[in-house]
Chain A
């Protein structure tokens, strides 16, 4: 306990320091034009910054973190020219507010389901952006978007844009790669690993068949199968998100679930 009023003065010192810091930081930035600097919004909001943290949205924008999630979109495989979605329905089941609606395609002749969605709706008025659909999709076919500015003029058809159909939801995988580079690389690695595994298995089988046919020379076959397996092991042992490893298991679970 000191003199009456010292507590208030101490507090005023803090506000004064804040006031000075606001300008000091910008001054530093103006004076130091040389060298590589972070862009202004990033620098302002770094944990080390002392000055003002605000950015002037929408003129300035903070970069979105890769994991940022907003209403999901469907990934279109530009290489195979096909939807990645197989309409397995896991996303519709894990969706907490039940905003995903899928119509499965049927083969017109056999009436059996074809792994492709005929219709796919997401009701963005209900979607809670939880990210479960993207997390549990075994085919990497649905991903969370970064486009958070979803507002429409009322003269556009009511609900029409907020309930998005398949055409509106589908975006190319190049877009997915651009907003989720890490995720995309993990997918590519998974795919490469899987292909390598398949190839190795096929080769081993071919070798084994050949060996059987030849009648006994197994040693070269084992040597031939070797180069593929360490590569696969190397890709999977990287600190990738563990769901990468769980994906195939999930798919198996789904198959039994159906």
Chain B
């Protein structure tokens, strides 16, 4: 858990440096500087323990001197020389070993007049991420992106590509040297930068909930009838809605027709196959500038075509659009069009009070809602400095691990659907999943949108009956069913033929792409946050982190099966130890609804069934989050889909996507 507070200890080496800018309030959030502008060394009464400058950051400062500074009440370090950012990050990656960009996001400090881009690199060997930041002046133009561009980190961390596009889309921060800087969650031509503090959504009512109009004078009014076509809608100057013709895909197709990835064309027209490792069975033809095949004259010299798969394609697991460029049946390029399910979750999260956000996190990755809640709740608990009760910790672990099992059942079932084993395996596993959901329903009241976690506890205890049912599931039924699943699938020759060697992405590339979760562990990297940066009470249980080395679809399947068994072990141990806790003791302290979180910033993360789910939260000391960022594992895992797919057959593209196990609710947010 990266834990970052305002203010840090006064013993920081940076505090004595002359380069420290005199803006102590800046880091703590702009809206209410009074809350943050406490003198350094004056800790908030209920705040978490003070953060210190980690040895890595100190080393970084030594290396780069004035261009890397750590201002006083500040978290991580600030790279104040933008030109050096890439150099610093390369040093961080190669010399310090932070080989994986866990998270990149931005915060709009409107009062201070800058946007801060925040990077969280981490080591694939484990440990907490470090925090690096840069600032760019935000400007007040509602349409234009920032004048100053941040150097793109895609050459250093390939995993930055989608995240930088998201920052550009949401904040209008330009990235110099980005290979394909287009909007990603909204469409081309969207007006404004939605996560800037001065952007307002249609039906805008107020900056923060609860809204004044609800009580005590709450005469109901439908949102749709509050005249949305007046001051809530901003047209660009000179925009004529009647004669508007959108061509949002022009940039997309342009970016695909520019060249053939994986094939570098020499100036003399001779094509060279790139040394990039390809999957087994890959055969990218060597093409010249006109896509003519140079290697084999006997092959048909065909044009390449662009095919749109989705957004209504049954195998895209929701509303995802894959645009593939095909040479015959071989994929030569792939681009993703996201955002069909975008609802600006993060803006909603900034309007909400801290408590309001818990049920919203259920709706991120709706297959494993409880795991998302846990991520959010432990991040806020870190900022508030509270701890849940013993019983609540056990209940959290039991429910989260059951969620992992049901999510993997779902993932495997639908992977098989993508392979063409239509619904027989899927329905066998959905049956089991439904029994787990029945338990969720009887405990929390809802099957998917559980809304189970609270700050410092959980909402309901398990009754004796429910514990009996959980035991029945964990000790008898689910182990039996996992055996059955393996019997049905693992040795099946057709599955092996279709999946072994397909979607290959070796470990170094996976790390560079910030791939997390079962897909990374299938590439031989034993990276599981429950183990490398333990949270909750996972350090008490005896379990293994399954790792496979094939880095292909088959091993991603096998990792999931093995993980289900490990989750069962955790649930079994937790159920056995549950007797040692006090029944009914599920909430630490008084149950409250109007939490105030001490000013500060925190990046908290958990291992959900899909990978690393992180929350980057900034509080200004009020009832609402100043910034609420979700580091979505599905979204960032999709970043590497292109490299996995290029060179494979188009039918395998579907399978590779299935093996990533994405949920569009979390991708699009």
Contact = CB atoms under 8 A, between A and B. Distances in A.
A242 B589 CA distance: 11
Interface in B219-233: 219-220, 222-223
A121 B216 contact: no
A132 interface: yes
Nearest to A237: B584
Interface in B426-445: 428, 431, 434-435, 438, 441-445
A243 interface: yes
Contacts of A14: 484, 487-488
Given A93-B593, A159-B222, A242-B584, A67 B356 contact: no
A10 B488 CA distance: 6
B586 A104 contact: no
Contacts, number: 171
Contacts of B594: 93, 253, 257
A249 B590 contact: yes
Interface of A, helix, strand, loop or mixed by DSSP = mixed
A66 B77 CA distance: 51
B591 A67 contact: no
A76 interface: no
Interface string A4-15: 111110110111
Contacts of A65: 441-442, 445
B349 to A, nearest CB: 10
Contacts of A240: 584
A130 B593 CA distance: 14
Contact of B472 (A11, A47, A130, A163): A47
B309 to A, nearest CB: 29
Interface residues of B, number: 64
Given A96-B360, A131-B451, A257-B594, A47 B477 contact: yes
B508 interface: no
Q: Could you say which interface size class chain A belongs to?
A: 35 or more
Contacts of B360: 96
A8 to B, nearest CB: 6
A243 B591 contact: yes
Nearest to A7: B491
Given A96-B360, A246-B590, A239 B443 contact: no
Interface centre among A8, A18, A96, A243 (most CB of B within 10 A): A96
Nearest to A246: B591
Interface in B456-500: 459-461, 469, 472-473, 476-477, 484, 487-496
A217 to B, nearest CB: 41
A137 to B, nearest CB: 11
Contact of A4 (B444, B493, B592): B493
Given A8-B492, A13-B487, A136-B591, 5 more contacts: A93-B594, A98-B205, A104-B215, A243-B587, A249-B591
30 contacts: A2-B491, A7-B491, A7-B496, A10-B488, A11-B487, A11-B492, A47-B435, A67-B460, A68-B442, A69-B445, A89-B216, A92-B214, A93-B214, A93-B215, A94-B593, A96-B209, A98-B214, A101-B213, A103-B217, A104-B215, A130-B358, A130-B451, A131-B446, A163-B222, A241-B460, A242-B461, A242-B585, A242-B591, A243-B587, A246-B587
Task: Give 10 closest A-B pairs by Cβ, nearest first.
Answer: A7-B491, A101-B218, A65-B442, A89-B215, A104-B216, A69-B445, A96-B356, A121-B220, A130-B359, A92-B215
Interface of A: 2, 4-8, 10-11, 13-15, 18, 45, 47-48, 53, 65-69, 87, 89-90, 92-96, 98, 100-104, 113, 119, 121, 123, 126, 128-132, 135-136, 144, 159, 163, 165, 239-243, 246, 249-250, 253, 257
